[in-house]
Amino acid sequence: MSYLLHVDSSSLGDASVSHQVARSFLEGWGGEVVHRDLAAQPVPHLNAAGIAARVTDPAEHTAEQASAAAVQDELIKEFVDAGAYLFTVPMYNLTMPSVFKAWLDQIIIFGRTVRPSPVAGRPAVLVSARGGSYGPGAPNHGFDYVVPTLEALLGRPELLGLDVATVIPELTMAREVPALAELVPQHEESMAQAHRRARELATTIALDAAA
């Protein structure tokens, strides 16, 4: 298998819970990893030149269009050449960090990465930590605009078509907010499950790749 592409969008670096759980996956991976840290080196937001470059003959590109196309070409090649994916995408204000959305907007191009998708069926792990709980029965149920959106963009067959497994460490604010203190045991259990699931996925994906 070619390399694992780890796209990291947390602003907190090693202090990020998403990053910490992703590290459990990486420790069990053992193969080559290409790490793109979008917080440290954000990619440009898609602009008019980038959109126009997609539908304009390269020979007729303006200087701005050529520059935008070069960014897209680099990111798409890095994405398509990977054999597996690890996405570190915490919840910020109910949704994904803007740097990750900018990366998605640069790589999702009809005819190149979707319809058809050259990466369809490849394994991907999405790690998304959040300060509260957004599952069934929780007061915030229905307000998770990270995981459902990314599972659709990354996993739907008519889009990128990856085989996505999601790991969600939650209640990360329980230790910081006094009103949530009674939820610390649930947070600790969620963290233990997340680290365990990340290690299991690393082993399974690595074994499948070697088979």
Distance between CA atoms of 31 and 4, rounded to whole angstroms? 7
Look over the chain and give the mean of its residue pLDDT values, rounded to a whole number: 95
pLDDT in tens, 134-144: 989 888 999 99
pLDDT in tens, 153-205: 999 999 999 999 999 999 999 988 888 889 899 999 999 999 999 999 999 99
pTM exceeds 0.85 for this model: yes
Residue 15 in tokens? 């202090």
pLDDT at 73 over 90: yes
**Residue range 109-132: mean pLDDT, rounded:** 96
- pLDDT given at position 207: 80
**CATH number of the structural domain 4-210:** 3.40.50.360
pLDDT in tens, 182-193: 989 999 999 999
**Residue range 96-118: mean pLDDT, rounded:** 97
